[in-house]
């Protein structure tokens, strides 16, 4: 009978073979033009190094990445391997395009291959998608090409726009733009949102967008802007005075904020409110369009303010507390960005070359996607009662600590370890190559000696 440990190891190897297939990576490098003639640089080995060979919190230099690549390649096409100069030249826009395509593929694998399904009251949805963005600060010399937002006129930055999928436990799409691109421009609404719940922050707030989500059969939960102009047309639940109820019943609707000023400052109010989607334009004969949405108001006893949420989820199927809990789920994408900045070195890049900035970003996100893919596999294979013990932030740190072991096992699976002389040969070649300086200055220690 096979032991549990061997069973896990066997499955882990299968997971690795399916995701990090040498032939696929090599073919992708050919398709994108990163590799035209296979000479000194092996694109698959390079991907392995960028994924597993870079320590968390430490941004490696070219020399360190080069040394790790040379150390990994046990059978270089040339006995001396690829030089540092040739290695540097390969870090260009072609490499950035190659990594972007690879990232796109791994995201597709992650989303399409997820066996997870939603549970409890969220089981009504096909998926829960959360969209948000984070800024990566760049070297100031790139301010002309990637200007920062108005609040930082002298800075430079890129913005990562991500859509997180609850079913995939990871991102569904990632796009990188300049910092000045507004979040709302990246929100794409169409037939694909049918039966999907979208949870967005105020950067994506737009009653017109919410109406389109509803039109396509999707659902949304959002905070309500404090300057939103909306009228209360129905009180679903919550205490109101007789006069206020008569006023609403007779269609003398109150503005939401006037309504909240007049009701007792406590509890929860579940309302139906009217929102202006399009203003009337008499000259163009365009009528005013309005849409009714559900607004839930919670009184916070600590901050003494109303917390207001906007949704099209029906009161029949979702209580106010359930809507609030669904919106709280948006925090997972904040944790994802925290993970990217803390464990994947994407907080601030002091890189002066735009292609290198993209290469670093893409390679770190690939690393994160690979990590999340393995995280999902771990959750799938662990005892269901113990799954809650596995959090994504702790997982990212464990993955970073164990990454070099993956690299070592990959090396052994490619080159084998049966011949001791081969391993000695590798060590000798590594010592000869890695200890050799690029500088041509004479060594003081050898000034008066010869061998």
Mean pLDDT on 172-201 = 90
Model confidence band, residue 319 (pLDDT cutoffs 50, 70, 90): very high
Which pLDDT value is given to residue 448? 34
Please determine, for residue 442, whether its predicted confidence score (pLDDT) is greater than 60.
no
What pLDDT does 160 receive?
92
Q: Which of 86-100, 179-193, 229-243, 379-393 has the lowest mean pLDDT?
A: 379-393
pLDDT of residue 174: 92
Determine the pLDDT at residue 1: 34
Q: Distance from first CA to last CA of the chain, Å, rounded?
A: 60
pLDDT of residue 56: 56
Interaxial angle between packed helices 62-72 and 43-52, expressed in degrees from 0 to 180 and rounded to the nearest 10: 120
Question: Is the pLDDT confidence value at 234 over 90?
Answer: no
Q: How far is the C-alpha of 370 from the C-alpha of 373, rounded, in Å? A: 5
pLDDT tens profile 34-72: 998 777 889 999 999 999 887 655 667 888 888 888 888
Q: Give the predicted TM-score (pTM) of the model.
A: 0.82
User: Phi, psi (5° rounding) for residue 62?
Assistant: -55, -40
How much is the pLDDT for 408? Answer: 81
pLDDT digits (tens, 9 = 90+) for 89-123: 999 999 999 999 999 999 999 888 777 788 888 88
How many angstroms separate the Cα of 361 from the Cα of each of 136, 158, 358? 9, 10, 5
Percent of the chain residues past pLDDT 90, beyond the cut = 33
* From 25-34, 147-156, 334-343, 440-449, the region with the lowest mean pLDDT: 440-449
Out of 81-85, 120-124, 151-155, 439-443, the most confident range is 120-124
* Residue 439 reports pLDDT greater than 70: no
Tell me: pLDDT of 434 over 60.
no
Name which of 26-30, 54-58, 133-137, 441-445 the model is least confident about. 441-445
- Is 233 in contact with 274 (CB distance < 8 Å)? yes
State residue 48's pLDDT score.
92
pLDDT of residue 417: 60
pLDDT at 286: 62
Task: Point out the least confidently predicted range of 76-85, 213-222, 307-316.
Answer: 76-85
Band (173; pLDDT cuts 50, 70, 90):
very high
**Residue 161 phi, psi dihedral angles, 5° rounding:** -100, 120
* Averaged pLDDT, 284-294: 77
SS3 230: strand
How far is the C-alpha of 329 from the C-alpha of 90, rounded, in Å? 41
């Amino acid at each position: 009978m096979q032991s549990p440990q061997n069973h896990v190891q066997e499955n882990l190897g299968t997971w690795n073979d399916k995701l990090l297939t040498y032939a696929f990576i090599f073919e992708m490098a050919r398709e994108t033009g990163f590799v035209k003639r296979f000479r000194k640089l092996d694109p698959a080995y390079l991907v392995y190094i960028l994924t597993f060979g870079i320590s968390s919190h430490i941004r490696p230099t070219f020399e360190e990445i080069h040394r790790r690549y040379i150390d990994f390649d046990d059978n270089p096409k040339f006995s001396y391997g690829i030089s540092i100069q040739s290695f540097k030249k390969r870090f260009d826009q072609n490499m950035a395009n190659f990594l972007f395509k690879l990232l796109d593929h791994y995201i597709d694998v992650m989303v399409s291959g997820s066996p997870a399904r939603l549970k409890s009251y969220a089981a009504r949805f096909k998926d829960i998608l959360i969209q948000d963005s984070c800024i990566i600060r760049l070297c100031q010399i790139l301010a002309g090409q990637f200007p920062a937002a108005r609040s930082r006129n002298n800075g430079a930055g890129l913005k990562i726009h991500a859509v997180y999928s609850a079913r995939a436990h990871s991102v569904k799409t990632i796009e990188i733009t300049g910092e000045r691109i507004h979040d709302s421009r990246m929100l794409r609404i169409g037939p694909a949102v049918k039966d999907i719940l979208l949870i967005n922050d105020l950067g994506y707030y737009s009653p017109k967008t919410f109406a389109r989500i509803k039109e396509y059969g999707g659902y949304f939960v959002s905070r309500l802007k404090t300057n939103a102009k909306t009228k209360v047309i129905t009180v679903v639940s919550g205490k109101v005075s007789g006069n206020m109820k008569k006023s609403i019943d007779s269609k003398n609707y109150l503005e939401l904020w006037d309504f909240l000023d007049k009701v007792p400052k406590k509890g929860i109010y579940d309302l139906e409110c009217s929102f202006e989607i399009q203003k009337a334009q008499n000259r163009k004969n365009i009528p005013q369009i309005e849409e009714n949405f559900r607004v839930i108001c919670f009184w916070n006893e600590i901050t003494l303010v109303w917390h207001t949420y906007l949704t099209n989820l029906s009161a029949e199927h979702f209580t106010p507390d359930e809507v609030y809990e669904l919106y709280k789920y948006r925090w997972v994408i904040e944790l994802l960005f925290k993970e990217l900045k803390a464990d994947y070195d994407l907080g601030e890049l002091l890189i002066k070359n735009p292609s290198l900035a993209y290469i670093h970003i893409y390679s770190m996100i690939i690393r994160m996607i690979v990590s999340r893919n393995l995280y999902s596999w771990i959750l799938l294979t662990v005892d269901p009662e113990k799954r809650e013990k596995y959090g994504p932030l702790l997982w990212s740190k464990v993955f970073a600590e164990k990454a070099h072991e993956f690299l070592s096992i990959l090396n052994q699976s490619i080159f084998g370890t049966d011949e001791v002389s081969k391993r000695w040969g590798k060590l000798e070649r590594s010592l000869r190559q890695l200890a050799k300086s690029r500088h041509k200055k004479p060594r003081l220690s050898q000034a008066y000696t010869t061998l």
